[in-house]
Amino acid sequence: MSNPNYTATISVDQSPKEAIEAIRNVRGWWSEEIEGSTARVGDEFRYHFQTLHTCTMKLVELVPDKRLAWLVTDNHFNFTEDKTEWKGTKVVFDISRKGHQTEIHFTHEGLVPAYECYSVCSDAWGSYIRGSLKSLIATGKGSPNPKEKAN
């Protein structure tokens, strides 16, 4: 049985500790528009991208050098019929050592092909994980969404 949740896996030369620290640096790979704390279990942060997407995430699990998970506690899309599609889903990073490399397995539990946002969201996650996050871990520089200019 295949897993319908969106997943992406990357491998890097850095240690699991370096990988988890980079993941926790959400402003360094996802968006500079993150508001709130992203460091400890129980912390909540808000993400927004223009008027297209806003969501609130809560850090619900942190196993040093092994696993990090966020619960989406609120969500709003302006491009889907169900504006709250992500609400109640979970974003999970599982980290493990594979030979001389660290493998990061990303799963957005609940982001499934039946969702109207699936195509757009899976494309976005793919570029953030395989591009920006991988670059942040490997080089110290990601390519997050920049701060939006005030009008």
Which tens digit of pLDDT belongs to each residue from 101-128?
Answer: 999 999 999 999 999 999 999 999 999 9
**pLDDT tier, 148 (very low <50, low <70, confident <90, very high otherwise):** confident
Phi then psi for residue 114, to 5 deg, are: -70, -20
pTM over 0.85: yes
CB 11 within 8 A of CB 123: no
Tracing tokens 């942060």 back to the chain, one arrives at 45
Beta bridge partners of 44: 58
Tokens describing residue 120 = 């757009």
| CA nearest neighbour of 136 among 7, 65, 31 | 31
Res 150: pLDDT: 65
What Cα–Cα distance (Å) separates residue 71 from each residue in 87, 139, 146, 149? 8, 28, 24, 28
Domains of the chain (ranges, CATH numbers): 10-139 (3.30.530.20)
Which tens digit of pLDDT belongs to each residue from 5-51?
Answer: 999 999 999 999 999 999 999 999 999 999 999 989 999 999 999 88
